[in-house]
């Protein structure tokens, strides 16, 4: 068995893992290790060859591989160790060790002072949404199709229907069209877009691809390969409306029906998970309920922009590094962050008030779209932060900052809410 010890171990070398490992090293952790199950660094970014990354972090529009490369280039000069082709099997949080398997080293027993969970997320499949019909070939998740086309050069079909208006699905609608395929429809069960508005404009509207809101697929037909799908309108309870069905002929169905944080390892480490995000519950230092374990990126909650992942992961890496070199924080009180009117969830879920406080950014998603709204953060019945938005949408992350000067005055609860809607 291969045995070793590190100050900071990061599981996952996608955008979250890369940013947190770099930050942990910069803050003073001597030995930092990235553990990645794939054969390359960069995670999902390697297959995202479209532009749109880095506008906030680098003030440039980059492709996914270009964005990842900016961080990968910092790994070697900083002396961060990397274990590729390595699958983490278990986390023993009681004695600060992870167990993994590597094709060259075999079973690995790795000790840590701080552990960062950055495993990302996975796509929901047909089984998760239980679409009726036959079981033919030609059904893919949007991310799987993206990997086939962009990394392996394999075109997965010619005539497509896409279920779900998530970002990967809309981006793939454009990608398939550019490759000469015909995307006949994007079908979304919700009455609103679930991805970014900019992706609808650039990927659907610009290519005249129809989007059907409040519709879903109720049947898949085909013996060996998909031949057609049956689409139906849904009512306000998301149930299909009889008599509204029609068929769309196609040979491929792509599913873009949501992402799930990869938290099997988090559960094994006995980390408390949020029922709203399905990711760990964390404080403003991105520290979980288990001592010495931090979390960031899509394993924590599914983000819309990789730039937000980077900002959040730098926080996790910073405090994981400080924790590894023995920095302690004296907690004076804890304020629980609660979603109020119109808010689905908030990250971080708690703020621990200490002597050394910095500004805290709260990330949250709203429940439904609206225009000309006012967002508020309340504590002890008083408004401590307020922001106006021209529009809000469940598919786009919102964020608000609480100034350090206001944090010491917090009560034991703070509430984020949609306070006013003017139109």
Matching CATH topology for 1-123+259-328 and 125-257? yes
Q: What percent of the chain has pLDDT over 70?
A: 100
pLDDT in tens, 158-190: 999 999 999 999 999 999 999 999 999 999 999
Residue 43 to residue 46: CA distance in whole angstroms: 6
pLDDT class of 423 with cuts at 50, 70, 90: low
Task: Please give the average per-residue pLDDT across 393-411, as a whole number.
Answer: 91
Residues contacting 168, CB < 8 A, separation 6+: 123, 142, 143, 146, 256
Residue 113 to residue 128: CA distance in whole angstroms: 37
> Is residue 398 within 8 Å of residue 365, measured between CB atoms?
yes
- For the record, the structure tokens of 22 come out as 């770099």
Residues contacting 291, CB < 8 A, separation 6+: 93
Q: What percent of the chain has pLDDT over 90?
A: 92
pLDDT in tens, 318-369: 999 999 999 999 999 999 999 999 999 999 999 999 988 889 999 999 999 9
- For the record, the structure tokens of 104 come out as 């060259």
Residue 110 to residue 113: CA distance in whole angstroms: 10
Options 1.20.1050, 1.10.10, 3.10.450, 2.60.40; which CATH number does 331-423 get? Answer: 2.60.40
pLDDT in tens, 123-143: 999 988 889 999 999 999 999
- For the chain, what are the domain ranges? 1-123+259-328, 125-257, 331-423
pLDDT in tens, 57-80: 999 999 999 999 999 999 989 999
> Is residue 259 within 8 Å of residue 166, measured between CB atoms?
yes
Helix (H) or strand (E) holding 198: helix 197-199
> Is residue 347 within 8 Å of residue 322, measured between CB atoms?
no
- For the record, the structure tokens of 62 come out as 């980059």
Q: Which residue has the tokens 């079981």?
A: 135
User: Please, what's the b/e burial string for 164-185 (b: 16 or more CB within 10 A of its CB; e: otherwise)?
Assistant: bbbbbbbbbbbbbbeeebebbb
Size of the chain in residues: 423
**What is the SS3 assignment for 80?**
coil
> Is residue 355 within 8 Å of residue 346, measured between CB atoms?
no
Q: Is 326 exposed, middle or buried (0-12, 13-18, 19+ CB in 10 A)?
A: exposed
**What is the SS3 assignment for 251?**
coil
**What is the SS3 assignment for 10?**
strand
| Of the candidate ranges 203-212, 280-289, 380-389, the one whose mean pLDDT is the lowest | 380-389
Residue 81 to residue 9: CA distance in whole angstroms: 10
The mean of the pLDDT values for the chain is 95
Considering the domain 1-123+259-328, what is its CATH architecture? Answer: 3-Layer(bba) Sandwich (3.50)
Q: Are strands 259-261 and 97-102 parallel, antiparallel or unpaired?
A: unpaired
Task: Please give the average per-residue pLDDT across 382-407, as a whole number.
Answer: 93
Residues contacting 111, CB < 8 A, separation 6+: 3, 4, 5, 6, 95, 96, 97
Which pTM does this prediction carry?
0.95
Instruction: Taking each helix axis as running N to C, give the angle between helix 142-152 and helix 167-178, from 0 to 180 degrees, rounded to the nearest 10.
Output: 40
- Which of the 8 DSSP states describes residue 416? E
| 125-257: CATH superfamily | FAD/NAD(P)-binding domain (3.50.50.60)
Residue 362 to residue 382: CA distance in whole angstroms: 17
DSSP assignment of 358-389, as one string?
--EEEEEEESS-EEEEEEEEEETTEEEEEEEE
| pLDDT value for 235 | 97
Residue 206 to residue 42: CA distance in whole angstroms: 29
**What is the SS3 assignment for 38?**
coil
pLDDT greater than 80 at residue 24? yes
| pLDDT value for 128 | 84
Task: Please give the average per-residue pLDDT across 114-124, as a whole number.
Answer: 96
């Amino acid at each position: 068995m291969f045995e070793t010890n590190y100050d900071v171990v990061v599981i996952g070398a996608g955008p979250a893992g890369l940013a947190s490992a770099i930050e942990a090293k910069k803050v003073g952790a001597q030995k930092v290790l990235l553990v990645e199950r794939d054969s390359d660094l960069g995670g999902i970014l390697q297959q995202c060859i479209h532009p749109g990354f880095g506008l906030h972090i680098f003030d440039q529009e980059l492709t996914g591989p270009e964005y990842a490369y900016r961080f990968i280039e910092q790994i070697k000069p900083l002396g961060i160790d990397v274990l590729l082709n390595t699958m983490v099997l278990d986390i023993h949080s009681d004695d600060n060790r992870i167990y993994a398997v590597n094709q060259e080293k075999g079973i690995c027993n790795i000790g840590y002072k701080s552990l960062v969970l950055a495993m990302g997320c996975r796509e929901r499949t047909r089984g998760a949404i239980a679409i009726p019909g036959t079981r033919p070939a030609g059904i893919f998740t949007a991310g799987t199709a993206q990997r086939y086309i962009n990394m392996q050069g394999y075109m997965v079909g010619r005539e497509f229907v896409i279920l779900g208006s998530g970002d990967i699905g809309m981006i793939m609608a454009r990608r398939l069209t550019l490759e000469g395929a015909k995307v006949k429809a994007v079908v979304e069960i919700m009455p609103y877009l679930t991805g970014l508005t900019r992706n609808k404009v650039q990927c659907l509207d610009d290519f005249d691809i129809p989007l059907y809101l409040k519709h879903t697929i109720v049947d898949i037909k085909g013996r060996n390969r998909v031949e057609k799908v049956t689409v139906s309108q849904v009512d306000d309870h998301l149930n299909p409306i009889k008599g509204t069905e029609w068929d769309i002929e196609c040979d491929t169905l792509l599913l873009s029906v949501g992402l799930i944080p990869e938290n099997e390892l988090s559960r094994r480490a006995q980390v408390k998970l949020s029922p709203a995000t399905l990711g760990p519950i964390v404080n403003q230092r991105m520290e979980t309920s288990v001592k010495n374990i931090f979390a960031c990126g899509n394993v924590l909650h599914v983000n819309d922009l990789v730039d937000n992942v980077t900002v959040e992961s730098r926080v996790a890496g910073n405090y994981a590094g400080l924790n590894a070199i023995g920095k302690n924080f004296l907690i004076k009180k804890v304020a629980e962050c609660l979603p109020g009117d119109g808010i689905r969830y908030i990250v971080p879920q708690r703020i621990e008030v200490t002597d050394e406080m910095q500004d805290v950014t709260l990330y949250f998603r709203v429940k439904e779209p609206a225009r000309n709204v006012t967002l508020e953060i309340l504590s002890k019945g008083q408004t401590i932060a307020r922001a106006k938005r021209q529009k809000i949408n469940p598919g786009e992350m919102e964020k608000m900052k609480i100034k350090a000067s206001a944090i010491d005055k917090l009560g034991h609860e703070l509430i984020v809410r949609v306070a006013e809607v003017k139109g």
